[in-house]
Amino acid sequence: MRHHAALLTPAAMAEADRLTIAAGTASRVLMQRAGIAIADAVARGTPLGAGVVVLCGPGNNGGDGYVAARVLRDRGFRVTVAADSPPDPRAPDAVDAAETWGRAPVPLARWDHGRVAVVVDALYGAGLSRPIDRLTAEVIAAVNAHPCRVIAADIPSGVDGASGAVRGAAIRADETVTFFRRKPGHLLLPGRELCGTLRVADIGIADAVLETIRPTDFANEPGLWGDAFPIPRLDGHKYHRGHAVVVSGGIMRTGAARLAARGALRAGAGLVTLASPPEALVVNASHLTAIMLDRMEGAAGLAAILADRRRNAVCLGPALGTGEATRALVAEALASGAATVIDADGLTAFAEASGQLFAGIRAWPGRPVVLTPHAGEFARLFGAHDEGAKLASARSAAQRSGAIVVLKGPDTIVATPDGLASIAANAPPWLATAGSGDVLAGMVTGLLAQGMAAFEAASAAVWLHGEAARHAGIGLIAEDLPEALPGVLAQLMADLSAPPDNEE
Task: Output the domain CATH number for residue 405.
Answer: 3.40.1190.20
Domain-located, residue 295: yes
Please check whether residue 448 lies inside any domain of the structure. yes
196 and 313 together in one domain: no
The answer to whether position 31 is within a domain reads: yes
| Count of structural domains within the chain | 2
137 in any annotated domain: yes
Please indicate, yes or no, whether residues 255 and 204 belong to a single structural domain of this protein: no
178 and 291 fall within a common domain = no
Domain assignment of residue 392, yes or no: yes
Residue 233 covered by a domain: no
Same domain, 155 and 289: no
Considering the domain architecture, whether residues 108 and 145 belong to the same structural domain is answered as yes
pTM of the predicted model, to two decimals?
A: 0.95
pLDDT at 237 over 70: no
Segments of 279-367 assigned E as strands: 292-295, 311-316, 339-343
Determine the distance from the C-alpha atom of residue 99 to the mean position of all C-alpha atoms in its chain, rounded to a whole number.
40
% residues pLDDT > 90 (the chain): 91
Q: Are residues 195 and 245 in the same domain?
A: no
Per the domain annotation, does 267 fall within a domain? yes
Pair (209, 247) in one structural domain: no
Q: Read off the pLDDT of each residue in 59-73 and give the average, rounded to a whole number.
A: 98
Element holding 210 (H helix, E strand): helix 209-213
Long-range Cβ contact pairs of 412-420 (< 8 A, separation 24 or more): 412/220, 412/462, 412/466, 414/220, 414/455, 414/458, 414/459, 414/462, 415/391, 416/454, 416/455, 419/216, 419/395, 420/216, 420/218, 420/455
Q: For the CA atoms of 310, 316, 321, 326, what is the dihedral angle to 10 degrees?
A: 60
Same domain, 200 and 329: no
Dump pLDDT digits (tens) for 108-129: 998 877 789 999 999 999 988 8
Nearest-10 Cα torsion for 227, 228, 231, 236: 130
Residue 87's CATH number: 3.40.50.10260
Among the candidates 197, 215, 233, a domain finishes at 215
pLDDT digit string (tens) for 88-105? 999 999 999 999 999 999
Under the banding of pLDDT at 50, 70 and 90, the label for residue 503 is very low
Q: Tell me, yes or no, whether 209 and 281 share the same domain.
A: no
Taking only the tens place, the pLDDT of each residue in 282-293 is 999 999 999 999
Q: Smallest Cα–Cα separation from 216: which of 160, 148, 162, 173?
A: 162
Q: 77 is in which domain, residue-wise?
A: 2-215
The DSSP bridge pattern shows strands 421-423 and 413-415 to be antiparallel
Does any domain span residue 229?
no
What whole-number distance in Å separates Cα of residue 338 and Cα of residue 355? 21
CA-CA-CA-CA torsion for 439, 444, 449, 452, nearest 10 degrees?
Answer: 150
- Which run of H or E residues covers position 16? helix 10-22
Are both 258 and 185 inside the same structural domain? Answer: no
CB count, 10 Å around CB of 383? 12
Within 349-389, residue ranges assigned H as helices are 354-362, 375-382
Q: How far apart are CA 321 and CA 152, in angstroms?
A: 48
